Every structure is written in structure tokens, then in C-alpha cells.
Amino acid sequence: MIKFFLMVNKQGQTRLSRYYEHVEINKRTMLETEVIKNCLSRSKDECSFIEYKDFKLVYRQYAALFIVVGIDQTENEMAVYELIHNFVEVLDKYFSRVVSETLNLFIIKLFFL
């Protein structure tokens, strides 16, 4: 099961966060900080799956944007890895080219309109 979905830029700023289980606001900030630090500190040669506390992190980097998904231990990492790629492909088709600024506009349209 997916626990959360994050979109983060290279500076470590969260651009989108969606939680599928209740997490208190102050704990979300701490969780996001630790998750972002773990993902940004890894090299491109390392695996995109990380064991973290009681769940796994699956992430992909697209230019200056990281997409991180937190999943439970029973979820298939490769399926989530492909889900991230499919999500980005859909955004790319919809917006013609996915860049950070375009994603910000997409997020605003998707969640606030």
C-alpha cells in the first residue's frame, strides 16, 4: 500500500506531498526532511529503493525533480518504480514537456481549482 507521495526539487523543497494515511503535521515535516535527505544524498549509481523505518522508499529523479513514494513492506518496488515513470509520462504528454515550473502549475490546477 502507498503511504505517501512526494515531489521534491534538488534544493530539498517539497513541491507536492500527498499522504494516504494520517500523519500529524509536525511529524510530516520531520518525515519529509529525513526522506529528502536520504534520497538526495544518494548517487545515481545506487539503487532507487531504500529501507526506511517501517516502510520502503522508491524514488526517481527527473532533471531537478525527485519523486518519492513511501510504501509498506508488502508492496512491489518495481511496480511503484514503473508507476512513477508512467505518472511522469502522462504529465509529459499533457504538458508537452515536464519541468519544475510546469509541475507547479499542474499542482495548483489539480489540487486548488
What are the tens digits of pLDDT across the range 1-39? 999 999 998 888 888 899 999 989 999 999 999 999 988
**What local confidence, expressed as pLDDT, does residue 24 receive?**
93
- In the predicted structure, residue 108 carries a pLDDT above the cut 70: no
The alpha carbon of 32 is separated from its chain's Cα centroid by a whole number of angstroms, namely 10
pLDDT tens string 53-85: 889 999 998 888 899 999 999 999 999 999 999
**What local confidence, expressed as pLDDT, does residue 63 receive?**
80
- In the predicted structure, residue 113 carries a pLDDT above the cut 50: no
Q: Architecture of domain 2-112 in CATH?
A: 2-Layer Sandwich (3.30)
**What local confidence, expressed as pLDDT, does residue 101 receive?**
62
Closest CA to 69 of 104, 18, 103, 22: 18
Q: How many CB atoms lie within 10 A of CB 79?
A: 10
Dihedral (Cα; 43, 45, 50, 56), 10-degree rounding: 120
**What local confidence, expressed as pLDDT, does residue 107 receive?**
64
15: its cell numbers:
513541491
User: If residue 17 lies in a helix (H) or strand (E), which one and from where to where?
Assistant: strand 14-19
66 close to 40: Cβ distance less than 8 angstroms: yes
**What local confidence, expressed as pLDDT, does residue 109 receive?**
59
Ranges of each domain in the chain:
2-112
